[in-house]
Amino acid sequence: MVQVITSQEDVTSPIVEVKEGSIVTPKGFKAAGVHAGLRYNKKDIGAIVSEVPANCAAVYTTSHFQAAPLKVTQDSIASEKLIQAVVVNSACANACTGDQGLKDAYRMRQLMAEALQIKEEYVAVSSTGVIGEFLKMDKIEEGIKKLEFHHTTEYATAFQEAILTTDTVMKKCCYQATIAGVTVTMGGTSKGSGMIHPNMATMLGYITTDANISSEVLQGALSKVIPTTFNQITVDGDTSTNDTVLVLANGMANHEPLTENHPDYPLFLKLLSVTCESLAKQIAKDGEGATKLIEVAVSGAKTDEEARMIAKQIVGSNLVKTAIYGSDANWGRIITAIGQTETDVNPSSVDIAIGPIRMLIKSEPQGFSEEQAIEYLNQDFIQIFVDLHNGNGAGKAWGCDLSYDYVKINASYRT
């Protein structure tokens, strides 16, 4: 295990990364993933199970066309605010499928509950893949029957593989902190590569923890960290129909319940934030056709919210993204992105730097070495710094460059 430094100043962080950890590292969680035939030769159905019903929190896409599985999951959570299992299929989003799609999503819930012999309302359902196609329920049923659950890395990996679509890598993380005198573990995994421009969630993300925290307090915590983590990534400016982030807390660490007034609540909030930020950045880095991860840090804004808006506008600009792909230090594209935002900006007081290279100071162009800029931009992690000198607000956003391969991938998505 190594210590995680969440910022340059934060050298005494109590959050510890578990390098080989996963969604099954927290006490009481198991996972599974199988190939059911929804895809040609890759795993396509997976599930996470808690030994006991877990308190839960979730956020969803704000798209007007929320997919059927989201409605079923919302119905499950509304029942008792407890979830013991989540079942996920890839290849088919079960979105824009009308009454039949909703029936199929409820049928998935029923099949998972029967397999585990738990209440139907304790099952959450997710789907990802092509929009407008119906689930192959015969294969879903057989796939769920094939699921075998274990708490090993191999089975966590099987789940992670089962939820992928155009992703090129699996996304996972695991962290620990001492809360209320005991070790609390939090594991996470997510999928997402394209159609990433979330508002209240992003693609699919699942977080498990053995912390003892009520669903109400957990929902409040998740709602606080989403705006600065998952909501601050963009790949292509499109919001999916199926975006969901789901957190399960089964309480098996056996500490006193966390409330917002508990002295260790801020540490739990930080633990959740670190987990969400890690997953969000991994999604941004694996954007379809991406070759570089871009981080934009904005300071000196009127408010933190305005700083985040500007950072996301910059990282989401196609002109900025293509310039980064071509290793072109064209800071004029960054200025253009800032100018489009509906925020309070003083046009005569802006600083811009790409990595260590200062290009604009108080809105005055600075001479710089093109060779040094190209050398920096040829790296696979690019940082852009903007100081507006207009307040104390600060925020970050993450995205990726825009390459030829993005077009190739999405031009043949269904074929």
pLDDT digits (tens, 9 = 90+) for 99-149: 999 999 999 999 999 999 999 999 999 999 888 999 999 999 999 999 999
Mark whether 310 and 403 lie in a shared domain. Answer: yes
Options 202, 228, 234, 343, the catalytic residue? 202
Mark whether 154 and 7 lie in a shared domain. Answer: yes
Q: Give dist(CA 256, CA 315) in Å, integer.
A: 42
How many CA atoms, within 13 angstroms, populate the side-chain half-sphere of residue 392? 0
183 flagged as catalytic? no
Residue 402's pLDDT band (cuts 50, 70, 90): confident
Domain boundary among 233, 260, 285: 285
Structural domain that includes position 212: 2-285
CATH number at residue 11: 3.60.70.12
Tokens of 102: 């909703």
Mark whether 269 and 354 lie in a shared domain. Answer: no
Mark whether 14 and 147 lie in a shared domain. Answer: yes
Mark whether 180 and 280 lie in a shared domain. Answer: yes
User: What number of residues does the chain have?
Assistant: 415
Tokens of 89: 């299929």
Query: How many Cβ atoms are within 10 Å of 67's Cβ, its own excluded?
Result: 29
Domain boundary among 285, 311, 335: 285
pLDDT at residue 291 greater than cutoff 90: no
**Neighbouring-strand partners of residue 2:** 17
Mark whether 299 and 179 lie in a shared domain. Answer: no
Residue 290's pLDDT band (cuts 50, 70, 90): confident
pTM: 0.85
- For 33, phi then psi, to 5°, come to -160, 140
Mark whether 99 and 184 lie in a shared domain. Answer: yes
CATH number at residue 323: 3.10.20.340
Mark whether 279 and 301 lie in a shared domain. Answer: no
How many domains is the chain partitioned into structurally?
2
Mark whether 281 and 341 lie in a shared domain. Answer: no
Mark whether 316 and 407 lie in a shared domain. Answer: yes
Q: Beta strands of 201-243 (E only): which ranges?
A: 204-209, 233-234
Radius of gyration in angstroms for the set of CA atoms belonging to the chain, rounded to a whole number: 22
pLDDT digits (tens, 9 = 90+) for 375-397: 999 999 999 999 999 999 999 99
Find, among 272, 190, 203, the residue nearest to 231 by Cα.
203
Q: Give dist(CA 98, CA 265) in Å, integer.
A: 42
pLDDT at residue 408 greater than cutoff 70: no
Concatenating the DSSP letter of every residue in 41-101 gives: SS--EEEEEEEEEEEEEEEE---TT--HHHHHHHHHHHHHSEEEEEEEE-SB---S-HHHH
pLDDT at residue 170 greater than cutoff 50: yes
Domain boundary among 233, 264, 285: 285
pLDDT digits (tens, 9 = 90+) for 341-381: 889 999 999 999 999 999 999 999 999 999 999 999 999 99
Mark whether 305 and 385 lie in a shared domain. Answer: yes
Mark whether 141 and 251 lie in a shared domain. Answer: yes
pLDDT at 198: 56
pLDDT at residue 415 greater than cutoff 70: no
